[in-house]
Amino acid sequence: MTFSTFRFELGADGVALVTLDVPGSSTNVIGDALRADLDRLIEQVRDDAAVKGVVITSAKSDFMAGGDLKAMVQLFAQPHTPDEAFAIASQFSPLLRRIETSGKPWAAAINGPAMGGGLELALACHFRVAADSPNVALALPEATLALMPGAGGTQRLPRLIGIAKALPLMLKGTRLSAHEALEIGLVQSIAAPDRIVSVARSWILERGDPVQPWDKKGFVIPGGGSAYNTTELGQLYNLTATQISRDMGHNQPAPIALLNAVARGTAVPIDAGLHIEACNFAKLVLSPVARNTVRTLFLHKGEIDKLVRRPKGIPAASYNRIGVIGAGLMGAGLAHSAAAAGIEVVLIDATPAQAEAAKVRLSQDFAKRIAKGRMAQDKAEALLARIHPAGDYAALKDCKLVIEAVFEDVAVKREVFRKAAEYMPPGAILASNTSTLPISELAGELPHPDRFIGLHFFSPVDRMPLVEVIVGKGTSEATLAESLDLVKALRKTPIVVNDSRGFFTSRVISAYIQEAFAMVGEGLAPALIDNAAKMAGFPVGPLAMMDDIGMDNGYKAALTERDALGSAWKPSAGFAVQEMLCKTLDRRGRRHGAGFYDYENDRRKPWAGLADVYPPKGGEHDVDELKQRLLFIEALEAARCMEEGVITHPAEGDVGSVLGIGFPSFTGGVFSLIDTIGTRAFVAACDRLAQRHGERYRPSAWLRERAERNELFFPASMAA
């Protein structure tokens, strides 16, 4: 028997060894070819009396990675009827049911990661042995990508290990090691990597039970299977539903569909349960959330991480030592991230003592992490050993790249550049971490503007995955390419943007914050505004966030912009409120004990005095409109960035907005949001908002023309 996606070898003992090896891919992904091969295999195994049982393993380093997400995005991008969606949801699952009811024993010899559909295949086998290797990981991670297991995972895992254990594993997409999988009963055995096939083979020959526990008479799910009979289960479902609502604000259909499949599907026999699972999966096929999330967070992020935008033909740069000037919040974070990537860091501040103090603060932070079990002592020591506080710019002499992270002040930055340029080796790259100042202007009198670039990291640097790479007028292609190499070495995701005041992310998030300020000016309560933002899917409300960050920097940036632009400056929508809070009322945020909210013992509570400054707007509040305003103002600003060429690829706008500034991930990002609503409908809605709230909502002629053509940022033909 020959197959294109796996090797088939029938041993003299009657055990067939199936070795997965999907061609043209580094991992085993489930596509049409594999499904067709499995279909044929199952028939032949059933009909051939010489085959006693089957062992499935893999020739690649993974057992199986799961579904082909690229194909899935393309498929989900087409409009479907409910029947078509159900057919899509049922592509793989019936095959697995045929495996477990084939009348012959099947065993999975899991040599590496078994993820999603890969684990579902293993679950449909009657026996699972995993290699005792750190390479092995077992997970059903679909929910982390706005999907759910759709090939029996929601039915077999709870029936195997109990609902209370299975549900959180699936909702969180937890990865289990071979030992953890054995402990909870997900695999029956672990063995040395070179012995898993023989262990599986022996099981088939010696025990070889071809009937799954759930197909045996009198089967009961461990811990009980019906919420109607078990109080604990009813409570678990209620609690889980409440947590999902709290965390996702009803914006994510996937966890609800998953919960539904588990709760209803485990209360009935498995065939009915599998049908219920497919019905729930079909709902996700019909919703744009799964497609948008997978496209942005998996496909586009994956391409960006591979540096698709890196100019071609420039040799890769590697860094074993970089310089960081400015050892404040960002500089210390940069030093931490670089050290974590194995890079030595020269850390400079205004005085040697300040640079030393930054390292002390880092070591205190590490000590807290160690105490909480989140960091190992030896790792902390290794990181600190790579950070070298220095008092003298001469220490930069071996640094091929230096990042400046001093105060957001042109004069201070220029002075630092001048001093750094004296000692940096010839050809070294100078990068600025400025969040707003135009890079081309900052380059000013630099001797080598071609080696100058913006590398905008986000706070906290060690945890935020995005870097906005800003190409100035003079920045050379080689500087861009070699800077992207550093971002990759730091294991972060770079988006490449052209120069503009505020670049992409700061511009887009400022529009959102300004809108929230404007709402305060309209007499809306901060708690109402913040809750509307959370309901829209933002991780935190804009006003609570500004109180936490502090209002000073934003206000200062606005004043700097006013000075820089002179008569061309127009106050932003919320500037008056910003000035009122910062200057007139001196309520600059939590650190000062007062902001949009009051703070008592660090607890946030409403500030009654706000009503005297901005009399409350009476009547009913249209929360849906508030949500729409907060989402649309960001999407509109992003569209302006695209129109002006600040962003050149919508994929970068989507990834940047979700990873950098907390734009709700269920939308897929700013441009996916416009596409999902439809450009025409989006423009019409913005016109309505402009009528009610001001010209800042008025779409540009460029966007209007796109709307007339109903042009998408991600046309269905190139959905992935």
Provide the binding-site residues for ligand NAD, judged by CB under 6 A.
325-331, 349-350, 354, 405-408, 412, 415-416, 433-435, 456-459
Is the sign of the CA dihedral 226, 229, 232, 235 positive or negative? Answer: positive
Provide the minimum distance between the beta carbon of 506 and ligand NAD in the complex, in angstroms, as a whole number. 8
Q: What are the residue ranges of helices labelled H in 401-459?
A: 410-423, 439-443
Closer CB to ligand NAD, 298 or 393, in the complex: 393
Provide the minimum distance between the beta carbon of 545 and ligand NAD in the complex, in angstroms, as a whole number. 11
Closer CB to ligand NAD, 57 or 433, in the complex: 433
The token duo for 217 is: 């008479």
Provide the minimum distance between the beta carbon of 387 and ligand NAD in the complex, in angstroms, as a whole number. 14
The token duo for 639 is: 């569209």
The torsion angles phi and psi of 673, rounded to 5 degrees, stand at -60, -45
Sorted by sequence, the CB contacts under 8 Å of residue 460 that are 6+ apart come out as 333
Q: Give how far Cα 597 sits from Cα of 404, 580, 608, Å.
A: 34, 14, 9
Closer CB to ligand NAD, 68 or 468, in the complex: 468
Closer CB to ligand NAD, 45 or 582, in the complex: 582
Closer CB to ligand NAD, 399 or 683, in the complex: 399
Is the sign of the CA dihedral 696, 699, 700, 701 positive or negative? Answer: negative
Closer CB to ligand NAD, 208 or 328, in the complex: 328
> How do strand 106-110 and strand 53-58 relate by DSSP bridges?
parallel
Q: Give how far Cα 533 sits from Cα of 152, 245, 292, 513, 633, Å.
A: 36, 15, 20, 11, 12
Closer CB to ligand NAD, 162 or 331, in the complex: 331
Provide the minimum distance between the beta carbon of 536 and ligand NAD in the complex, in angstroms, as a whole number. 23
Provide the minimum distance between the beta carbon of 664 and ligand NAD in the complex, in angstroms, as a whole number. 21
SS3 36: helix
Closer CB to ligand NAD, 14 or 328, in the complex: 328
Query: Which among 5, 81, 10 has a CA at the least distance from the CA of 39?
Result: 5
Provide the minimum distance between the beta carbon of 392 and ligand NAD in the complex, in angstroms, as a whole number. 12
Provide the minimum distance between the beta carbon of 358 and ligand NAD in the complex, in angstroms, as a whole number. 7
Residues forming a β-bridge with 470: 454, 497
Q: What are the residue ranges of helices labelled H in 644-677?
A: 650-661, 670-677
Provide the minimum distance between the beta carbon of 416 and ligand NAD in the complex, in angstroms, as a whole number. 5
Closer CB to ligand NAD, 257 or 330, in the complex: 330
Provide the minimum distance between the beta carbon of 415 and ligand NAD in the complex, in angstroms, as a whole number. 6
SS3 320: coil
Structural contact between residues 497 and 471, judged by C-beta atoms closer than 8 angstroms: yes
Provide the minimum distance between the beta carbon of 505 and ligand NAD in the complex, in angstroms, as a whole number. 9
Closer CB to ligand NAD, 132 or 408, in the complex: 408
Structural contact between residues 387 and 359, judged by C-beta atoms closer than 8 angstroms: yes
Provide the minimum distance between the beta carbon of 556 and ligand NAD in the complex, in angstroms, as a whole number. 10
Where do we find the tokens 């929910």? 143
CA gap 666, 669 in Å, rounded: 8
Q: How far does Cα 629 stand from its chain's mean position? A: 24
Provide the minimum distance between the beta carbon of 326 and ligand NAD in the complex, in angstroms, as a whole number. 3
Residues forming a β-bridge with 431: 403, 453
Q: Give how far Cα 15 sits from Cα of 34, 102, 233, 244, Å.
A: 21, 15, 41, 45
Provide the minimum distance between the beta carbon of 372 and ligand NAD in the complex, in angstroms, as a whole number. 23
Provide the minimum distance between the beta carbon of 513 and ligand NAD in the complex, in angstroms, as a whole number. 13
CA gap 68, 552 in Å, rounded: 48
Provide the minimum distance between the beta carbon of 362 and ligand NAD in the complex, in angstroms, as a whole number. 13
Query: Which among 168, 164, 175 has a CA at the least distance from the CA of 66?
Result: 175
> How do strand 15-20 and strand 6-10 relate by DSSP bridges?
antiparallel
CA gap 594, 588 in Å, rounded: 6
Position of minimal CB gap to ligand NAD:
328
- Residue type at 630 in one-letter notation: L
Query: Which among 176, 45, 64, 193 has a CA at the least distance from the CA of 118?
Result: 64
Closer CB to ligand NAD, 35 or 591, in the complex: 591
CA gap 333, 143 in Å, rounded: 31
Integer-rounded Cα Rg, in Å, for the chain is 28
Structural contact between residues 555 and 576, judged by C-beta atoms closer than 8 angstroms: no
Residues forming a β-bridge with 107: 55, 127
Closer CB to ligand NAD, 494 or 650, in the complex: 494
Sorted by sequence, the CB contacts under 8 Å of residue 273 that are 6+ apart come out as 154, 155, 261, 264, 265, 266
Provide the minimum distance between the beta carbon of 356 and ligand NAD in the complex, in angstroms, as a whole number. 12
Q: Which H or E element spans position 553? A: helix 552-565
Return the HEC string of 489-534: HCCCEEEEEECCCCCCHHHHHHHHHHHHHHHHHCCCCHHHHHHHHH
Q: What is the number of alpha carbons within 13 Å of residue 574 lying toward its C-beta? A: 23
**Does 255 sit behind a cis peptide bond, omega within 30 degrees of 0 on the bond before it?**
no
Provide the minimum distance between the beta carbon of 381 and ligand NAD in the complex, in angstroms, as a whole number. 24
Closer CB to ligand NAD, 327 or 380, in the complex: 327
Closer CB to ligand NAD, 117 or 323, in the complex: 323
Structural contact between residues 123 and 136, judged by C-beta atoms closer than 8 angstroms: no
Closer CB to ligand NAD, 401 or 406, in the complex: 406
Closer CB to ligand NAD, 348 or 573, in the complex: 348
Closer CB to ligand NAD, 319 or 457, in the complex: 457
